[in-house]
Amino acid sequence: MNDPVYIIGLDLGTTNSIVAYTEADADDIEKAPIRVLEIPQLVDSGVVESRPALPSFVLVTDGMDTAPDALALPWNPSPPQATGEYARRRGEEIPQRLIASSKSWLCNTFVDRNAPILPWDNTADKSGIPAESKLSPVAASAAILRHIRDAWNHLMAGSATDPDERLRFENQKIYLTVPASFDAVARELTVAAADLAGLANITLLEEPQAAFYAWLAATEGGWRDAVTAGDLILVCDVGGGTSDFSLIQVGDEDGDLVLERVAVGNHLLVGGDNMDLALAYALARQLAESGTRLDSWQMNGLWHSCRRAKEQILSDAAIQSQPVTILGRGSSLIGGTIKTELTRETIESILRDGFFPACGREDRPAAAQRAGIREFGLAFEADPGITRHLAAFLARHPIDGQLAVPTAVLFNGGVMKAGLLREHILSVLGGWSAEGSINALPTRDFDLAVARGAACYGLAREGKGIRIRGGLGRSYYIGIAASMPAVPGMPAPTKALCVAPFGTEEGTTTAISDREFVLLVGESATFDFLGSTTRTDDPIGTVVEDWTGEIDPITTLETTLEGENGQAIPVTLELTVTEVGTLELWCVSTVDERRWRLEFNVREH
């Protein structure tokens, strides 16, 4: 393949996906023109328009609820699904056929994320979608990426019959963003989705870092005047499905300012989706008080309608309310609709008081009241109070032995468009700081910043701008069974062995070569893969005997390694952080030339 013409930043968002790009031969991230791709997509039946955001929704159809040519696109007259704005709007009417939040499903450890399980349906009256029409979380993410690839090629690479191969999307250098809190398995699945969409030339980048690169570029070199050595910057990214926190520290090396990402938060499934649902329940209560009760099918549609109304209100300060329409059900409402209204006052009170409550630095998220049986689905946070999660995050990552309180905040994500919420968060953080006030770094566009920043990062990787020191956002461990005499009724305890320390950079291979382990080959064996965002100082080879509460299970690697049945092989361990940003864990024989790669098993238990 020839050298890429463009560097592309691709924000595969929970709610919206964005593409930004710049010329690969640009000189500097502070001067490079960053463009946002206007993505052609269906906005109504048979109507195609170009918009800067592609809503991350996939509509599964069976041909019965859409006209034959309703889904036609300029590059595909009969696509298997609808993706984007039309999928979102039509999904409000037939929510049982809508795939939403596929990115969040990539993190769900209770399902086979390669199995066709979406649209997910927990209702008693099943959707009736045949299994062959459903998609896996990986395939749903790939469908969104495939639409973006085809849209780019249609616009940028010339005719379908004689395209310019140098300009095709898959031949550019693509930086695909993921939440900082994505663990190794979620990252691997994201790469698998990209590969399924025909995108092999990708590199992963954390979304908060991408947002920070966008800010660096927007200052046009003035960032050095906006921060000083010793500053601690919180990137607070609250998007459609998740809340993501990162800390970036400003340091000084020989008179030059340097930037280092020093902490990453846990994966928090609380964001715009939760807020939309809270708004839907508020409107449902109002309707119930006037004698109109909604069933689960209508509630699902109301949820999606509230999302659209909320985004319209928050995007324009002049809009004080938006109408919300719910399709009727039952013989008395054939062809009828239910109408209500969502107001700015309702949005601001529910979001501010319910999701960003005033709290102290010692407050923590409330523990869930565990039910013996609960409905299956996404593992949303039990406590929606994002400010309490923020207090817990800062407490877990002290700086120089002191509670980490940022000196500045960079806001990102669609939820943070609301100035009222930004000011409220700054007020809460100011109450935790001895200085009493915290600055907000200016954000040019809360929706587009991550994609823009990813393109800037691509230039920085080539030496055309300052790079944030980052690497792995957590320490990784593998479980090893303790060598001890057998005790009746007591299994051998599992110790956690650090195989990749926090901050290990891409392209690095770490090895534990001064210690041997025993590897079982030729029969089924399991390997526990673990991670921690709090134990950031463990060097490679550290053995942690009591790791409860500090180190969390990520996945079980279950496999039968090639070899003589039941043979025990002395091995050393080796872990590579690939240039793409994924992990490869190897067992290396000390008696011959054999090597075994431990494959992630994404069918969790």
Domains and CATH numbers, the chain: 6-204 (3.30.420.40), 225-269+361-367+377-448 (3.30.420.40), 272-355 (3.90.640.10), 475-598 (no CATH)
pLDDT of the residue at 377: 59
pLDDT of the residue at 330: 55
Output the six-digit token pair for 272: 């715009």
Output the six-digit token pair for 488: 């009746």
Output the six-digit token pair for 340: 């209500």
pLDDT of the residue at 1: 54
pLDDT of the residue at 425: 96
SS3 assignment for 178-213: ECCCCCHHHHHHHHHHHHHCCCCCEEEEEHHHHHHH
3-state DSSP call for residue 496?
Answer: strand
pTM of the predicted model as reported, rounded to 2 decimal places: 0.86
Kindly give the parts of the chain with pLDDT less than 50.
Answer: 122-126, 331-334, 374, 602-605
Q: How deeply is 378 buried, as exposed, middle or buried, from its count of CB atoms within 10 A (0-12, 13-18, 19+)?
A: middle
Describe the crossing of helices 137-156 and 184-196 by its angle, rounded to 10 degrees.
50
Q: What length is written for the chain?
A: 605
In the chain the first and final C-alpha atoms are separated, in Å, by: 42
In sequence order, what E strands does 372-448 have?
Answer: 408-412, 439-441
**In the chain, how many H helices and how many E strands?**
12, 27
Which residue in this structure is represented by tokens 């990749």? 500
pLDDT of the residue at 379: 67
pLDDT of the residue at 589: 92
